[in-house]
């Protein structure tokens, strides 16, 4: 299924009025799933029906991703961290090979998909041969265990953590379990990782899946000092309360901008309850209940809503706001993933 990206005049107006003059001149999307259609393979209809994000499109070649970023942010130099598909039935070997060539061909860093059953020897060889910046494990690769019962070690074994630690790489982690960052088992596992493997850099995707502020608030309290040794990306997070708390409690260098393309390329916004959220969307996806049909034509892109929230919250930092925005939108990703956007390449500069 191709991505759903479409850009209209209302999007361009929203960008001009809310983003253009406040966005730094360099932007790194630190959470972008890149692949070719041939990597996707036949998808299980049950998997698609059970995951609203997959219904939004899963295919995103690297050149398409870069083109979308240029359209979204025409005044910024843009790069992306390329991630593999979060699909157990995808051709991971082919997807990893494709990602490995992106740095050479387009100047883009990438993370390698790892499955828990892969041999440590092969994982280490592929990591180094592909010049990957780290690992991207997925919950779906541990299909024999109910999602609510998953532990991090079920899809990210310690043998792989040891490899990442030995080579000072990054692990970008999507947390399991319904309570997300606030889950006690997740807290124990995260504490173990940062204490036992101090030389890897652990990034929690989606601010620890804290789409609602209670998960982030409770999780940071439970983590205590261990929170200072973690990094967080903003992929698919829109809640202003979450961002306000994140920028209050975390260091400026701990937060990395990310979009979660191709899953978040639709027009819409979110509504929140205490611990859940509802997507409000213009596009006619199977999951869309069209709760605000009279307002849908005025929706802008979800990514634009996300960027506006980040700019609004960081705008409260006073004289430090420009430095903070530069860190969040590019500098932190460059430091954590240890790559430079200054690298020359056929599409690395504008």
Residue 227 has pLDDT above 70, yes or no: yes
Residue 344 has pLDDT above 70, yes or no: no
- The tens digit of pLDDT for each residue in 178-197 reads 999 999 999 999 999 999 99
- Binned at pLDDT 50, 70 and 90, residue 176 comes out as very high
pLDDT of residue 348: 43
- Binned at pLDDT 50, 70 and 90, residue 62 comes out as very high
Residue 347 has pLDDT above 80, yes or no: no
pLDDT of residue 343: 53
Q: What DSSP line would sit under 151-193, residue for residue?
A: -HHHHS-HHHHHHHHHTT-EEEE---STTGGG-HHHHHHHHHH
Domain ranges, ordered by start, for the chain: 9-337
Taking residues 128-145, report their average pLDDT.
94
pLDDT of residue 350: 37
pLDDT of residue 47: 78
Taking residues 255-259, report their average pLDDT.
98
Taking residues 291-315, report their average pLDDT.
97
Homologous superfamily of 9-337: Metal-dependent hydrolases (3.20.20.140)
Rounded Cα gap, residues 33 and 15, in angstroms: 24
Q: In whole numbers, what is the pLDDT of the chain averaged over residues?
A: 94
The mean-pLDDT minimum among 36-50, 56-70, 121-135, 250-264 falls in 36-50
pLDDT of residue 210: 98
Q: Report pTM.
A: 0.96
Rounded Cα gap, residues 25 and 338, in angstroms: 20
Taking residues 38-52, report their average pLDDT.
85
Residue 346 has pLDDT above 50, yes or no: no
- The tens digit of pLDDT for each residue in 285-299 reads 999 999 999 999 999
pLDDT of residue 45: 82
């Amino acid at each position: 299924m191709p991505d759903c990206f479409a850009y209209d005049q209302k999007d361009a107006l929203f960008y001009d009025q809310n983003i253009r003059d406040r966005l730094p001149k360099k932007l790194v999307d630190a959470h972008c799933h890149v692949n070719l259609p041939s990597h996707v393979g036949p998808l299980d209809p049950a998997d698609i029906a059970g995951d609203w994000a997959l219904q939004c499109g899963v295919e995103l070649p690297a050149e398409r991703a870069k083109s979308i970023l240029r359209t979204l942010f025409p005044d910024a130099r843009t790069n992306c961290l390329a991630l593999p598909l979060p699909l157990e039935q995808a051709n991971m070997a082919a997807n990893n090979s494709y990602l490995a060539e992106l740095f050479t061909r387009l100047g883009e860093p990438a993370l390698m998909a790892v499955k828990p059953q892969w041999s440590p020897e092969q994982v280490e060889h592929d990591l180094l041969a592909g010049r990957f910046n780290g690992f991207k494990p997925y919950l779906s690769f541990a299909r024999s265990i109910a999602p609510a019962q998953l532990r991090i070690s079920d899809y990210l074994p310690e043998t792989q953590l040891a490899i990442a630690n030995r080579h000072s790489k990054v692990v970008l982690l999507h947390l399991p379990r319904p309570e997300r960052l606030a889950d006690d088992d997740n807290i124990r596992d995260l504490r173990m990782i940062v204490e036992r493997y101090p030389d890897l850099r652990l990034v929690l995707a989606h601010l620890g899946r804290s789409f609602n502020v209670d998960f982030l608030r409770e999780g940071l309290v439970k983590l205590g000092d261990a929170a200072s040794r973690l990094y967080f990306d903003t992929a698919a997070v829109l809640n202003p309360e979450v961002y306000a708390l994140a920028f209050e409690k975390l260091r400026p260098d701990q937060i990395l901008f990310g979009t979660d393309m191709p899953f978040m390329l639709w027009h819409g916004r979110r509504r929140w309850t205490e611990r859940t959220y509802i997507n409000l969307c213009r596009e006619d996806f199977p999951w869309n209940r069209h709760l605000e049909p009279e307002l849908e034509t005025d929706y802008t892109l979800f990514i634009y809503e996300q960027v506006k929230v980040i700019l609004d919250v960081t705008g409260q930092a006073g004289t430090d706001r420009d430095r903070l925005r530069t860190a969040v939108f590019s500098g932190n990703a460059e430091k954590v993933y240890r790559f430079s956007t200054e690298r020359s390449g056929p599409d690395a500069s504008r």
